[in-house]
Structure 1
């Protein structure tokens, strides 16, 4: 048993990004304890307080010859917050209770003291003798995730950095492909947890934004003030966009946002609303800071680099046509621009 534990922990701490670490945590616990289902839920923003997002779920069963089988469920399910989940999120202590398939153990997951999600483990037998082992593995995960999280973050703004972009976008495209293939309405009728519904006109969107005349700001007021502008911009991004949207700093004054699937009209309003928010913000020492934005649709069949180039072309158009504006790549192509 000790060799199995050691091997699993070595494998878990060998991961190099947070998404892989999350998968490794669930797989490690499924190997160590008599668990038939392990799920990881991510806490969403206050606007989504009635649900958590199931980002990973692993089912474990035996086949006809007694061999262990592992089945990874598709991510993206929204799970309503019941009284037990609410307790785990608020009290910050493990919650154990009976379910139809046995017992369920909910373990709050924290990052630097903040509860960011819940680990759910189901078993047909008691987990009391595994409690210390499970909590130990979770603590190793939490400590190591802090290190990985720091490596994925921009040092100045705390946003995701350029290095993580391809992996994050590839994961989003995979989820989008899965959800597009499913009949969401039939899931709802069966009483299953709901996914974020993707209507026929809903897509994820990639937004590139750039601070207008940022070199002039640096040259006039110095790099320290320039950093202050970038920090304020990143803080506005974090407070404005949903927790399910991905926010990146690509370097310098260039930022990237991946909006979760929404219709075009909503994406356009979201992008332009943020542009106005920055233009109206009272920066110190300077009358006004503005941004230009370009955005492009993301479909499940796109390559990350292609989407990035399309959004960048729309940004270039915005820069060449007055700045302090936002343009969509597909709309520009449709108009022949």
Structure 2
């Protein structure tokens, strides 16, 4: 019991979802009789549910990937895991199966916001005793509760999107690694997925700053209750307009940020404009029509504060020149409508 408690103390000391995942698998792997552990990511691709290993044991060590799930060659259809599929369909807390002699598998799905984002898979050579199941589920419950606390601290209370604190903590790492990190979650069909990259056009990462046009007038005319409803509905349109491995943040007020992963400039233009049109064409209760302005930039050049500052410049150019439009920073600089300038970390405060 003492080693388990020590591992639980270590596990709850992490402030990162992936490190917490590695820690709980390490704890489970040390239990007597456990021969293999994995964390499976569940996602939908082309309308079909899939799973792929996100953390697993390799050469005696736990390794993880945060690459895009939909392009992972190790992905499998969920139908290949019938016991797990039934467990999720019936919203059960666990599933057991013996796929072959000497292999007994326990799946523990992580339920958050009434969806399964990940699932822990534990394999033994012998059947699971009632006592062993009780211990495993106890460790798992601590893990799931702590995952929920981390998730709550990362999100905006009104919209459920990631908050500014989460952006500040993660964007430096994403900018340095080309947005290699992904967010585990159930994939919604993406507007971007309809467009294959044009031949020869490089795939990049993009940061967009979004602002609701004339939002102060909405609050002044209809009240903050309807203003909050507009924010919630805009957040819903954002979710449906981008992929699960893209990242969406609410910065506070009427400002949002989108990190768009692994696509071309022409596709980025299409996706951002589709989102803008989706907002324009949405009938907001009581308020009627609402529009947004958006500025975006590639994340491949400059420090995080420079990248964010350039997207902000493009946004405010859009707002000062008619609103309800998408502006790309490099196009504005190339046409002479914006002057490219260096931004120092200690002499600018964004937003």
- TM-score band, normalised by the shorter chain? 0.7 to 0.9
Deviation at 1:286, TM superposition (A): 3.2
Cα deviation code 1:73-114 (max 9, x no counterpart): 433253122534354144233243447996654332212543
RMSD: 3.0
Deviations 1:285-317 (A, max 9, x none): 334211000112223x76433322221121122
1:75 pairs with 2:66: yes
| Contact kept? 1:30, 1:60, Cα under 8 Å | no
Q: What TM-score results when the alignment is normalised by the length of structure 2?
A: 0.77
Give 1:98-137 correspondences, 5 Å limit: 98=99, 104-122=105-123, 125-126=125-126, 128=128, 130-137=132-139
1:302 and 1:105 mapped to 2: Cα distance? Answer: 46
Kept after mapping to 1: 8 A contact 2:205/2:261 = yes
* 2:312 corresponds to 1:312: yes
Residue by residue, what CA displacement relative to the aligned partner does 1:136-188 show, whole Å, maximum 9, x if unpaired? 21111112222221111111111111111134435545764879xxxxxxxxx
Task: With the length of structure 1 as denominator, give the TM-score of the two structures.
Answer: 0.79
Q: Is 1:3 matched with 2:5?
A: no
Say if 1:19 and 1:330 are closer, same or farther in 2 by CA, change over 3 A: farther
Distance 1:74 1:297, change over 3 A: same
- Could you tell me how far apart the structure 2 residues matched to 1:230 and 1:12 are? 35
Offset of 1:325 from its aligned partner?
0.3
Change (3 A) 1:11 1:174: farther
Distance 2:155 2:203 in 1: 29
Match of 1:331 in 2: 331
Query: In the alignment, which residue of structure 1 is the partner of 2:28?
Result: 29
Q: Which residue of 2 aligns with 1:184?
A: none
Q: Whole-Å Cα distance in 2 between the matches of residues 55 and 305 of structure 1?
A: 31
In structure 2, what is the equivalent of residue 38 of structure 1? 37
Give the Cα–Cα distance (whole angstroms) in 2 for the partners of residues 304 and 55 of structure 1.
27
SS at match of 1:32: coil
Contact 1:89/1:108 (8 A) holds in 2: no
**Take 1:303 and 1:48, find their aligned partners in 2: how far apart are those partners?**
37
Distance 1:213 1:115 in 2: 38
Taking the aligned partners of 1:34 and 1:174, their CA distance within structure 2 comes to 41
| Deviation of 1:279 (Å) | 0.9
Q: Which has a greater percent of helix?
A: 1
Return closer, same or farther for 1:51/1:297 CA change in 2, 3 Å cut-off: farther
Deviation at 1:37, TM superposition (A): 4.6
Change beyond 3 A, Cα 1:176–1:36: farther
8 Å contact kept, 2:211–2:292: yes
1: CA distance between counterparts of 2:53 and 2:163? 24
Q: Is the 8 A contact 2:178 2:299 kept in 1?
A: no
**CA shift in 2, pair 1:263/1:57, >3 Å:** farther
**Given the alignment of the two structures, is residue 235 of structure 1 paired with residue 226 of structure 2, yes or no?**
no
The size of the alignment, in residue pairs, is 308
- Say whether the 8 Å CA contact 2:179–2:205 is kept in structure 1: no
